[in-house]
C-alpha cells in the first residue's frame, strides 16, 4: 500500500475569497510534523484489544522464546540504523568542523569578517508591480510591506532589456547584462532552421545505441548543458565560506555545484522534456488540438469503467524514435455520487468533481529496468454525461529525480521527504490549461496557491537552516496570477467583457495581500543582523491588444511569403526566405535575415546597420489605428543595449511594446497573419514583455539604501559588498550604499 | 544387483523430496517464508501505513539534513534531536501492530520449538532425568536406601547407568539413564510415601519428534512456553520432572545454528522481500 501525500484540495471556492485550507491533510508543517491519526478499522474496540495485548506482552515471562518476527525486527533495526547513521554523521560533522574552519581560515576565507550583516534574505516576487504595490499600500492592504517601506526602502527597480523573467533573473544572479550571460528570451532561434530552441539549457540524449532485438539500448550519458553564462553571486559567497540556500531562482537548471543548497526553478522541464504539457483525458470526441502546451487523450468507457492513460516521455529503448511511454489508469464512477474511484498503478484514490488529487507517482517503464519517475495531479472536471479529467504536466519526481534539479542531488530528495512531493516543473502553474479553457479560474488558482504553499514551506525551512549566509527564494505565483487575472483589474479588458466590472473578483488584490502576509511571517523570523530584500524582476501592465510584428513586416515588405500565400503556418512555414529581410520570433526579438549568419540569409552584413536603423525608425512610435494608442514605444538596437561576448547571439533589435500591447500569440510562434493589431481575448491578460522602461520591478528592503535608480543588475554586487567581498571586475552592476545599519 | 541398485536409486529419487520436507533446514526455510509473508500482511493490515510512511520520510529528511548542513553545527545537532524524536514516534506507530503480530508468532514459535529446539536422545547415549521437589524434607534418597522417598520405574529399553544423586541445595534428584532402542517411553516417577505416580515422556532416537523437556506443576506461563505435557498435580510434592535433551543444531554451510536465529534471519529476509513486493511500509 503506497501512501498518498496529503488530502485533496477542494476547489469550490470563489475567486473573490481565495482561501486554501492551511491543513489540507498534507505533509507536516514546518516547525513540527503533525501526524494524522488515521484510524484503522480496529478503532474503539482496538483500544481495549491493545490494552489487553500490552498487558500480555508485559507479563509474558522472559523465558518465552519471544520472537517478534520481521515486523519488529525491521522496526528495531530501522530505528537503530537511523540513530546510528545520524550519530555517525553528527559525530563526523562535530569532529571535523574545527578542522574545516581552520582550513578556511588558512585559505583566507574568513567568511563573515567584513560582513555588514550575518545573513541576507532575498525574496523574489516575480512580477510584483511597484504601482500596484504602492496603490495597495496606500489603501492599507499591505501592512508588512508598508513597514519595510517606512523603515527601509521602497523604490522601483530597473529591469533588463527585454523585461522577461529568464533574462532579468539571469542578470540578478550574475550581475551582468544579457550580453555577458547569453539569455535574451525563453527561446532562442536556430539560424540554420529558423526554429526555436530553449535558451536556458540543452539536453541531449546518448549519441550511441546498441540494438538488441526490438530494443535500442542507449550507450552513454545524457548531456545537460547550461546555456546561461556568468557566475551566480552565491558562488562567490561560497568561495568565501558563506553558505547559501537558493530556492527556485529561474534559470538555475541544470544546477551548478557551489557551497550551499539549490533547488532549480523556471526552465526545469517536465518528464516529457517540454516546459509543461498538460493532458485532457476525455470521452468527448474531438479532433481539435490545443494551441499551447496540451494534448487530448481519449477515455474508453466500457461497462461503466473508464480507461485512459497519461502520456509520458519517449522510450529510450524503442527502435522507432518518438515512441511514447504511457501509464494507464482507470476511473470508476461511484454510483449516486459526484465522485469516482481512480486507480493509477498501485495508487487508489477517490476524487469528487472539482477536486484535485494529491501528487500521484507515475512510473513510465521502458523495459530492461529503465523507468522514468514522474508525479502528476488529477483534476476531475466532469463525470456525467461525459467524463473529463485534467492531468497536470508530469513533473520530475523530486524524491527520485531522473534529471538533476538540485544541488546537491539530495536536496530535492530532502525537501520531498520533509514535505512530500512538490512541483518541480519550471513553469509549474498551468497557465496554458487556463488559456485553453481546460481549467477554470478556481481550478487554476487552487493549483497555483498549492504550489505557492509548498514554496513557503521550503522558504521557512531554509530560513531555519540558514542562520548565517544567504537565503533566497523566488515565488512565481505573483507572475502567473497577474498574467491570468489582470483582466479583472480593468473595466474594459477584452478578455473580461463577459463579466460586469462590478463582479470582477479581486484576485490580484488578494494575491498582493497574501504576499504581504508572507512578508510578515518572514519578518518574525529575522532580526536586525539580517538584511531582508523583496525584489521583483519586472512589473506588469495590461495586455489588451496583440501586435503581430511578422504581419507588419510582411505588409511593409520586409518579410515575404511563398507564391499564393497570404498567411504562414507556425514557425515560418511558407515564408520565402529568399525575399525576407527581417523576421520576429519570441516575445521581443526582431532578427535580420543576414547572409552568412542565417542559412538562407539575404541581407548583406554591410547593410545590416542601415536596415536596423530603418526598422527602428519605422517601428518606434507605431500607432494602433483602432485606438490611436502607441503600440511600440521603443525599439532598441542590440549593440546599443548589450555588451559582452554573447551579444552576437542576441536578436538584432529589441522591440518595446507600449502599455496595453504585446507580441501576438501568433507572432511569438513565427506565424504571419493578415492582422497587425487585434484584441487579446485570452485569460492571459497581463504582461511585462513590453518596453522595459514601463515595467520596472520593486525593491523593498529592511534597511535604507540611498542610491537613485537602482537596477536588478546591482543586486549581486550589493550582496557581495555587504558580505565584505571584493567585486569581480566584469560586473556591470554597481553596489548600493546603505544609509545606516538600523538598530 | 543392478535391479536392486536401480530400485534403491528410484526409491531415493522418490524419497528425496520427502527427505527435504523432514529436513530441519527445509522446515525452517519454508516456515520463515510463510511467517515472513503473514507478518508483513498482518502488519500492513493493522498499522497506519500513511503515518508510518510519513514518519520514515521525516527520519530520512533529518538524516539528509545532517549531511546537507554539516558545516552548521546548530542545524546538525537540531537534526539529530529530531531524529531521536522521530525514531520514538516511529516506534510508537509500529508498537500497536507489533502487538498484534507478536502474540500469535510467539505461540507459533513455541510450538515449533518442540520439534526443532531440542533433539531426541540418541540410542545408547546417557541422559539425565531430574526431579525437582517442592520441599527439602522430601529429598532424601540414596541408592538402596529403604527410606527413599522418590523412585523411578523404567521401561525395559531404558536403564540406569549410575545411582541417583541428591542435590540438596537445588531440592533435586538426578538419575543418569541410557536408552537402548529408538522410541517414545514413559518413565514413572513414584513418591514412596503416598504412592503417587507421575510419568515423564522420553524420546529416544532421531528425526523430528515432538519433545517436551520438562513437565511442570503450576507455573502456567512457564508451562505454556516450556512444556508440552500435562501439568503435574497441584498438590504433588514434585515441582518438575525434566530431561536434558541436547539442543538441536542446524547445519548451515558448515556452521551450526540454533533454529531460532536462522528463523529470525530468514524471516527478516523474506519479510523484506514481501514488504517490497506488496508495498507495505514497516
Helix (H) or strand (E) holding A333: strand A324-333
Q: Which of B37, B47, B59 to mutate to test the interface with A (most CBs of A within 10 A)?
A: B59
Do the Cβ atoms of B275 and A74 come within 8 Å? yes
Phi then psi for residue B200, to 5 deg, are -130, 125
Chain A residues whose CB is inside 8 A of the B55 CB are 35
* B257 in contact with chain A, both atoms CB, cutoff 8 A: no
Below-50 pLDDT ranges, chain A: 1-46, 49, 53-68, 742-743
DSSP state of A487: G
Q: Which three cell numbers stand for residue A444?
A: 487554476
Task: Please tell me if residue A69 touches chain B, with a CB cutoff of 8 Å.
Answer: yes
B220 at the A interface (CB within 8 A)? Answer: no
Q: How many CB atoms lie within 10 A of CB A524?
A: 8
Contacting residues of B for A87, CB less than 8 Å apart: 80
pLDDT of the residue at A335: 84
Chain segment B54-70, per-residue pLDDT in tens? 999 999 999 999 999 98
A317 DSSP 8-state letter: S
Q: Which residues neighbour B71 within 8 Å (Cβ) at sequence distance 6 or greater?
A: A93, A97, A100, A243
Euclidean distance between the first and final Cα of chain B, in Å?
A: 60
Supply the DSSP symbol for B166: E
Instruction: Report the alpha-carbon angle B185-B187-B190, nearest 5.
Output: 160
Radius of gyration of chain B (CA): 27
Report which DSSP code applies to A476.
-
Q: What is the pLDDT of residues A503-549, one digit of tens each?
A: 889 999 999 999 999 999 999 999 988 999 999 999 999 999 999 99
Task: Return the pLDDT at A287.
Answer: 77
Q: Which of A53, A78, A417 sits opposite B100 (nearest CB)?
A: A53
Phi-psi category of residue A260: left, alpha or beta, with phi > 0 → left and psi -120 to 50 → alpha: left
DSSP A182: -
Q: Are A224 and A404 a contacting pair, CB within 8 Å?
A: yes
Bridge pairing between strands A305-314 and A324-333: antiparallel
**Which of A43, A56, A67, A419 to mutate against chain B (most B CBs within 10 Å)?**
A67
Q: What is the DSSP string of B138-157?
A: G----TT-TT-SEEEE--TT
Partner B, chain A 573-632, Cβ-Cβ below 8 Å: none
ipTM of the complex: 0.84
Check CB contact of A32 with chain B, cutoff 8 Å. no
Q: Cβ of B91: how many Cβ atoms within 10 Å? A: 16
| Yes or no, beta carbons of B50 and A92 under 8 Å apart | no
The residues in A 239-258 lying below 8 A from B, measured between CB atoms, are 243
Beta carbons of A69 and B267 less than 8 angstroms apart: yes
Chain A residues 94-153 with a CB less than 8 Å from chain B: 94, 97, 100
First-to-final CA distance of chain A: 55
- The answer to whether the beta carbons of residues A21 and A15 sit under 8 Å apart is no
Q: What is the pLDDT of residues A77-128, one digit of tens each?
A: 666 666 677 777 777 777 877 777 777 666 655 678 789 999 999 999 999 9
Q: Compare CB distances from A417 to B64, B67, B109 and report the shortest one's residue.
A: B64
| A708: closest CA of chain B, how far (Å) | 38
pLDDT tens readout for residues A364-401: 998 888 899 999 999 999 998 999 999 999 999 999 99
Grid coordinates 523593498 are at which residue? A700
The nearest CA of chain B is from the CA of A547 a distance in Å of: 49
Residues A329-373: tens digit of each pLDDT: 999 998 888 999 999 998 999 999 999 999 999 999 988 888 999
E strands, A108-222, in order: 119-125, 153-157, 187-189, 196-198, 201-204, 208-212, 215-219
Instruction: Please give the residue of chain A at the shortest CA–CA distance from B117.
Output: A65
Please list every residue in chain B whose beta carbon sits closer than 8 Å to the beta carbon of residue A7: none
CB of B49 within 8 Å of any CB in chain A? yes
Nearest-Cα distance to chain B for A79, in Å, is: 6
For residue A347 the three cell numbers come to: 495508487
The residue with cell 487585434 is: A678
User: Please, is B2 exposed, middle or buried when counting C-beta atoms within 10 Å of its C-beta (0-12, 13-18, 19+)?
Assistant: exposed
A465 touching B (Cβ < 8 Å): yes
- CB-CB: which of A27, A66, A86 is closest to B102? A66
Is the Cβ pair A61, B86 closer than 8 Å? Answer: no
pLDDT at position A92 is: 74
CB atoms within 10 A of CB A77: 14
Q: Residues B26-39: what's their mean pLDDT?
A: 91
**Cα A370 to Cα A97: distance, rounded to the nearest angstrom:** 40
**Measuring CA to CA, which residue among A380, A480, A385, A496 is closest to residue A439?**
A380
Q: Cβ separation of B271 and A71 shorter than 8 Å?
A: yes
Predicted pLDDT of residue A433: 96
From CA A561, how far away is CA B108, in angstroms rounded?
Answer: 85
> pLDDT by residue (tens digit) across A477-507?
999 999 999 999 988 899 998 888 888 899 9
With H, G, I as helix, E, B as strand and everything else as coil, classify residue B34: helix
Mean of pLDDT over chain B:
85
Question: What's the half-sphere exposure (Cβ side, CA atoms, 13 Å) at B233?
Answer: 9
Q: Nearest C-alpha of chain B: how many angstroms from A473?
A: 18
Report how far residue A414's alpha carbon sits from residue A410's, in angstroms, rounded to the nearest whole number.
Answer: 6
Instruction: Indicate whether B115 pLDDT > 50.
Output: yes
Amino acid at each position: 500500500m503506497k501512501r498518498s501525500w496529503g488530502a485533496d484540495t477542494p476547489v469550490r471556492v470563489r475567486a473573490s475569497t481565495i482561501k486554501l485550507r492551511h491543513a489540507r491533510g498534507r505533509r507536516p508543517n514546518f516547525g513540527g510534523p503533525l501526524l494524522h491519526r488515521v484510524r484503522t478499522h480496529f478503532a474503539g474496540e482496538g483500544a481495549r484489544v491493545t490494552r489487553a495485548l500490552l498487558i500480555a506482552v508485559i507479563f509474558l515471562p522472559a523465558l518465552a522464546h519471544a520472537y517478534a518476527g520481521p515486523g519488529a525486527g525491521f522496526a528495531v533495526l530501522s530505528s537503530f540504523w537511523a540513530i546510528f547513521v545520524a550519530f555517525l554523521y553528527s559525530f563526523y560533522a562535530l569532529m571535523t568542523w574545527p578542522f574545516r574552519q581552520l582550513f578556511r581560515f588558512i585559505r583566507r576565507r574568513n567568511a563573515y569578517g567584513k560582513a555588514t550583516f550575518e545573513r541576507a534574505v532575498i525574496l523574489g516576487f516575480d512580477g510584483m508591480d511597484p504601482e500596484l504595490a504602492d496603490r495597495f499600500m496606500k489603501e492599507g492592504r499591505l501592512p508588512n510591506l508598508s513597514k519595510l517601506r517606512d523603515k527601509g526602502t521602497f523604490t522601483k527597480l530597473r529591469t533588463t532589456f527585454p523585461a522577461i523573467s529568464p533574462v532579468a533573473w539571469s542578470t540578478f544572479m550574475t550581475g551582468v547584462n544579457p550580453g555577458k550571460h547569453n539569455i535574451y528570451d525563453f527561446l532562442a532561434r536556430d539560424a540554420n532552421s529558423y526554429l526555436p530552441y530553449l535558451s536556458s539549457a540543452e539536453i541531449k540524449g546518448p549519441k550511441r545505441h546498441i540494438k538488441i532485438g526490438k530494443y535500442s539500448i542507449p550507450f552513454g550519458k545524457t548531456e545537460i548543458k547550461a546555456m546561461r553564462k556568468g557566475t551566480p553571486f552565491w558562488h562567490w559567497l561560497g568561495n568565501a565560506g558563506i553558505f547559501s540556500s537558493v530556492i527556485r531562482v529561474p534559470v538555475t537548471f541544470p544546477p551548478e555545484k557551489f557551497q550551499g543548497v539549490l533547488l532549480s526553478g523556471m526552465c526545469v522541464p517536465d518528464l516529457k522534456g517540454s516546459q509543461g504539457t498538460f493532458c485532457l483525458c476525455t470521452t468527448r470526441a474531438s479532433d481539435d488540438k490545443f494551441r499551447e502546451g496540451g494534448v487530448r487523450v481519449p477515455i474508453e468507457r466500457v461497462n461503466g469503467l473508464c480507461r485512459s492513460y497519461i502520456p509520458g516521455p519517449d522510450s529510450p529503448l524503442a527502435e522507432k524514435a518518438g515512441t511514447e511511454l504511457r501509464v494507464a489508469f482507470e476511473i470508476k464512477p461511484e454510483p449516486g455520487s459526484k465522485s469516482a474511484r481512480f486507480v493509477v498503478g498501485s495508487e487508489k484514490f477517490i476524487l469528487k468533481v472539482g477536486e484535485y488529487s494529491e501528487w500521484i507517482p507515475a512510473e513510465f517503464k521502458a523495459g530492461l529496468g529503465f523507468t522514468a519517475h514522474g508525479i502528476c495531479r488529477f483534476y476531475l472536471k466532469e463525470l456525467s454525461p461525459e467524463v473529463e479529467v485534467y492531468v497536470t504536466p508530469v513533473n520530475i519526481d523530486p524524491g527520485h529525480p531522473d534529471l538533476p534539479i538540485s544541488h546537491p542531488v539530495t536536496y530535492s530528495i530532502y525537501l520531498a521527504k520533509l514535505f512530500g512531493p512538490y512541483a518541480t516543473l519550471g513553469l509549474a502553474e498551468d497557465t496554458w490549461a487556463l488559456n485553453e479553457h481546460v481549467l477554470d479560474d478556481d481550478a487554476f488558482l487552487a493549483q497555483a496557491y498549492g504550489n505557492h504553499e509548498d514554496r513557503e514551506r521550503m522558504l521557512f525551512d531554509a530560513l531555519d537552516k540558514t542562520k548565517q549566509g544567504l537565503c533566497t527564494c523566488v515565488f512565481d505565483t505573483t507572475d502567473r496570477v497577474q498574467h491570468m487575472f489582470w483582466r479583472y483589474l480593468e473595466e474594459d479588458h477584452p478578455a473580461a467583457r463577459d463579466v460586469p466590472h462590478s463582479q470582477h473578483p479581486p484576485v490580484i488584490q488578494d494575491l498582493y495581500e497574501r504576499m504581504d502576509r508572507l512578508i510578515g511571517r518572514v519578518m518574525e523570523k529575522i532580526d536586525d543582523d539580517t538584511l531582508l530584500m523583496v525584489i521583483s524582476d519586472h512589473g506588469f501592465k495590461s495586455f489588451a491588444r496583440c501586435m503581430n510584428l511578422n504581419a507588419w513586416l510582411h505588409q511593409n515588405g520586409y518579410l515575404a511569403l511563398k507564391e499564393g500565400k497570404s498567411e504562414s503556418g507556425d514557425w515560418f512555414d511558407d515564408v520565402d526566405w529568399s525575399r525576407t529581410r527581417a523576421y520576429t520570433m519570441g516575445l521581443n526579438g526582431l532578427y535580420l535575415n543576414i547572409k552568412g549568419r542565417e542559412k538562407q540569409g539575404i541581407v548583406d552584413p554591410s547593410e545590416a546597420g542601415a536596415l536596423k536603423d530603418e526598422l527602428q525608425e519605422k517601428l518606434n512610435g507605431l500607432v494602433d489605428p483602432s485606438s490611436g494608442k502607441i503600440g511600440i514605444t521603443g525599439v532598441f538596437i542590440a549593440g546599443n543595449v548589450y555588451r559582452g561576448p554573447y551579444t552576437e547571439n542576441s536578436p538584432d533589435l529589441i522591440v518595446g511594446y507600449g502599455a496595453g500591447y504585446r507580441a501576438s500569440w501568433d507572432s511569438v510562434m513565427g506565424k504571419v497573419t493578415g492582422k497587425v493589431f487585434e484584441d487579446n481575448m485570452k485569460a492571459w491578460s497581463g504582461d511585462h514583455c513590453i518596453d522595459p522602461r514601463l515595467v520596472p520591478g520593486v525593491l523593498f528592503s529592511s534597511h535604507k539604501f540611498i542610491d537613485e535608480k537602482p537596477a536588478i543588475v546591482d543586486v549581486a554586487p550589493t550582496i557581495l559588498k555587504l558580505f565584505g567581498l571584493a567585486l569581480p571586475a566584469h560586473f556591470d552592476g554597481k553596489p548600493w550604499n546603505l544609509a545606516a545599519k538600523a538598530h | 544387483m543392478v535391479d536392486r541398485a536401480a530400485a534403491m536409486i528410484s526409491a531415493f529419487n522418490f524419497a528425496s523430496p520427502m527427505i527435504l520436507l523432514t529436513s530441519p533446514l527445509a522446515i525452517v526455510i519454508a516456515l520463515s517464508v510463510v511467517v515472513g509473508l503473514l507478518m508483513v500482511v498482518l502488519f500492513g493490515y493493522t498499522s497506519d501505513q500513511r503515518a508510518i510512511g510519513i514518519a520514515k520520510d521525516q527520519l530520512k529528511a533529518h538524516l539528509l539534513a545532517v549531511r546537507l548542513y554539516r558545516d552548521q553545527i546548530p542545524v546538525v545537532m537540531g537534526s539529530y534531536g529530531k531524529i531521536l524524536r522521530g525514531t520514538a514516534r516511529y516506534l510508537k506507530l509500529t508498537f500497536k501492530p507489533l502487538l498484534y503480530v507478536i502474540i500469535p508468532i510467539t505461540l507459533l514459535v513455541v510450538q515449533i520449538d518442540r520439534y526443532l529446539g531440542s533433539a531426541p536422545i540418541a540410542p545408547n547415549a546417557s541422559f539425565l532425568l531430574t526431579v525437582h521437589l517442592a520441599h527439602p524434607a522430601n529429598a532424601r534418597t540414596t541408592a538402596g536406601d529403604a527410606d527413599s522417598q522418590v523412585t523411578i520405574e523404567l521401561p525395559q529399553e531404558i536403564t540406569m547407568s549410575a545411582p541417583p544423586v541428591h542435590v540438596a541445595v537445588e531440592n533435586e534428584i538426578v538419575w543418569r539413564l541410557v536408552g537402548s532402542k529408538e522410541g517414545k517411553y514413559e518413565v514413572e516417577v513414584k513418591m514412596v510415601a503416598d504412592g503417587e505416580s507421575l510419568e515423564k515422556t522420553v524420546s529416544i532416537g532421531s528425526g523430528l519428534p515432538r519433545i517436551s523437556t520438562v513437565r511442570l506443576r503450576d507455573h502456567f506461563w512457564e508451562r505454556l512456553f516450556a512444556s508440552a505435557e500435562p501439568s503435574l498435580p497441584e498438590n504433588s510434592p514434585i515441582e518438575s520432572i525434566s530431561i536434558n535433551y541436547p539442543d538441536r543444531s542446524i547445519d548451515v554451510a558448515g556452521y551450526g545454528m540454533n533454529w531460532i536465529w536462522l528463523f529470525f534471519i530468514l524471516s527478516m529476509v523474506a519479510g523484506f522481500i514481501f514488504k517490497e513486493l506488496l508495498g507495505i511500509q514497516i
